[in-house]
Amino acid sequence: MSRVAVIGCGVVGAAIAYELSQVPELQVTVFDRQPPAQASTGAALGVLMGIISHKVKGNAWDLRRRSMRRYETLIPELEGKTGNTIPFNRQGIVLLCFEGDDLQSWQHLAQTRHDQGYSLGLWDLAELQVRCPHIQNSRLIGAIHSPGDRQLDPTALTLAFVEAARQNGVTFEFNNPVEKIESLPDEPIHRLSTSAGVVEADWVVLSAGLGTTPLTQVASTPVEIRPVLGQAIRIKVSEMLGDRHFQPVITGEDVHLVPLGNREYWVGATVEFPTDAEVRADQAQLEAVWQKAIALCPALATAERLQAWSGLRPRPHNQPAPIIAPLVGYNRVLLATGHYRNGVLLAPATAQTVCKMIMDAMVMNEESKT
């Protein structure tokens, strides 16, 4: 048996734990300094912009393609195993287009996606107004509908991953921070200092989001993950917006309107880069997002604001998001971190990639013995 320590139980760590729990040769323990889905994951809107993204090739597209495909089987699988409901909106994403937008680039993307086996609908203004009558703005010229994109509840998903992984034998140690990872160059075993004592592991997976930076300070190449703050709100309207049978996520000018049922919606999110060491939510930025949302959907003006919150997205400094790779200079320490704005979208493919890295190394190790 190989012992795997997963550090961090946001959506990424939980997805990894579930994926690894299906490998009989692995004994998996997940550590988190708090309960699951409390950090970035707990603030996320769960919009999965895979097919509608402009990534068309390479690793960025491959991660999106694999995640979107896996989600279709994952949600019923997790619901079946756990009995939990995971709110999963299958009505797609409608991306609004405005005067001055480059429609040719959307036509080009629609053709590429068609060739890849997906569809994107290019709607003119008349079609948008029939399908989404609640969306009204004089600068609109149409929309792109991506029926294959999805939205889900990130907390419900993470808790289902935890429950399903637990059923498969994974141990979860919540409220148990990892303070230090000690790995000696010539020794295959890692020692993790936790608040409950020292734990040994053959593999360490660092899915600690912003907590990755302090844990890699001793490494020859430390990994710097910086926070980008996001604020969002939950609102309730007196009547469901638009067509009650067609409730996709609507996104325009970087504002998402996410239907939750029961006349409730999430609206967000701000993208706030910290200006100094302290990261503070700026009320004016949330207000700007809210005003943009009202400008797209005037009926929101009379909505009741139920709740507002903020979270910190983990963004890699000086390298692209996400980082899914071995930690330089360390044997069997894998980074699965820095997913920035797309951690929920990319969690399933990240988990598959980490699992494959461990399995491939185990096979190579076995082969080297024979």
Ligand X SMILES: Cc1cc2nc3c(=O)[nH]c(=O)nc-3n(C[C@H](O)[C@H](O)[C@H](O)COP(=O)(O)OP(=O)(O)OC[C@H]3O[C@@H](n4cnc5c(N)ncnc54)[C@H](O)[C@@H]3O)c2cc1C
Site residues (CB under 6 A) for ligand X? 7-13, 31-34, 38-41, 43-47, 177-178, 207-209, 211, 215, 230, 232, 268-269, 311, 313-314, 337, 339-345
- Whose Cβ is closer to ligand X: residue 31's or residue 106's? 31
- Whose Cβ is closer to ligand X: residue 86's or residue 142's? 86
Q: Kindly tell me the burial class for residue 104, based on how many C-beta atoms sit within 10 Å of its own C-beta (0-12, 13-18, 19 or more).
A: exposed
The answer to whether 93 and 52 have CB atoms below 8 angstroms apart is: yes
The answer to whether 315 and 282 have CB atoms below 8 angstroms apart is: no
The answer to whether 52 and 121 have CB atoms below 8 angstroms apart is: no
- At a CB cut-off of 8 Å and minimum separation 6, what does 369 contact? none
- Whose Cβ is closer to ligand X: residue 97's or residue 178's? 178
Cα separation, 335 vs 353, whole angstroms: 11
Minimum distance from residue 218 beta carbon to ligand X (Å): 13
Is residue 281 classed as helix, strand or coil in its secondary structure?
coil
Minimum distance from residue 297 beta carbon to ligand X (Å): 18
Minimum distance from residue 48 beta carbon to ligand X (Å): 6
Backbone angles phi, psi at 52, to 5 degrees: -80, -5
Minimum distance from residue 100 beta carbon to ligand X (Å): 25
- Whose Cβ is closer to ligand X: residue 300's or residue 346's? 346
- Whose Cβ is closer to ligand X: residue 35's or residue 329's? 35
Phi-psi region of 124 (alpha: psi -120 to 50; beta: other; left: phi over 0): beta
Minimum distance from residue 286 beta carbon to ligand X (Å): 10
The residue number with the shortest CB distance to ligand X is 211
